[in-house]
Chain A
Amino acid sequence: MKITLDITRRESPDAEPYILSAAFETVTGSETAAYALTSLNADPERRDVNGKPFPPIRWESSCLQKKCGACAMVICGKPMLACDARLEAVARGGRVTLEPLKKFPVIADLAVDREPMFAALAEMKQWLEEHGEVRPKETDRAFDASKCLQCGCCLEVCPNFCTGSAFYGTAAAVPASRLMAVTNDAERAALYRKHVYNGCGKSLACRNICPAGIDIDSLLVNSNAAAVWKRRRKGGNPWTL
């Protein structure tokens, strides 16, 4: 199937963005946006739809199998992993738009600077102050929370998140719940309230977006219970309060 890729490009952070349209032919149907970008960049003869040569497209990837979060971008309006976006499945009228994540500064083309996300984790003191094993009944929660790719898709859809604010969003809340599966001290609870709970509008826009399949709802409910509601978990769902 012939797919036209509409790629938002910028040579540098301050340069004017423009759209590059390039054709890509799928053969097996399993080709992803990541595959199309790799193939275009590997082809020294690459041309846009008007037959004009163009320089390689900057984007980030690594594992090509949904496990590293490097390739997150906005595909047909939705934040996704490029290696998980099957072109034939996401195309609208034979076209696929690829844009950089908008919540982070652009480096070039589809590559963005996600360092603010990591800086937030440092602010959140995202490490185990006292070492210890995961409590046996928390193993599943710790596993789920440890899966976070730090891709940033959840931040893209969050109405309350912007870089520079004290609210760090789901990408900080999920890792925090890993630590809470081991210990839950007052300082952690306070950091959680300050950087997650207080700023969160509970709209749950981040609900079904996570490419790692993390059950964000249930992690947030649990962490809120631990950090805000002091473990009165049976007393109803705090999200509804």
Chain B
Amino acid sequence: MPDMSSRDQILAGIRRSLGRTKIEGEQAEALTRRLENSQPNLIPQRAQRPHADQVRLFVEMAEGVQTTVSRVASAADVPEAVADYLKQHNLPAELRLAPDEWLTGLPWARKKTLTIKTGRAEEPDAVSVTPAFAGVAETGTLMLTSGPGTPTTLNLLPETHMVVLKASQVVGAYEDGWKKLREAYPGQLPRTVNYITGPSRTGDIEQKILMGAHGPRRLHIVLIDD
């Protein structure tokens, strides 16, 4: 079969090994249905609880992986919380804000001490502030999606990454995040979906865990109790 492409040869080889021909007809339809109506397989008990408990679990799990969390009563308090965090950690009051409409619409002007740029992250940006798509309680994981208002570099390049999350965005399990995502982006996922669980780390030198390998050294969540 000298004219067969590598693709066709690989597929033919698979079918030969499995002792059958290409899957067609009813069987193909059944597999397509499995893909199109995907259902969770098993959701751990710990993720299935009332929403207020999910939020509590989210915070507990996030703190367990060295994410820090501060809580505010309303979105209007976010700039204050961001400024406080930077001061507490002796970080420069300069930040790169995700160009997301909702986030940039918060009352940043009230915090005169902050120098704010918007856009994607560039070297040497030290601090970024981004919104989130969801928080997953079972492991304290943030779910961030890329888009015009949420460039991925903000999640990765600066040493300090701050994420603004509403309590109402917290879900129980990864699968709940997928459900939300399929609804928000029907037909095509965003270019990048980041599940982020704590700040960057490595254990590559004698298995000692060190923060800030290539991604952020600090991950801070400002949680709005909405």
- Please say whether chains A and B are actual partners in one complex: no
Interface residues of B (CB under 8 A from A): none
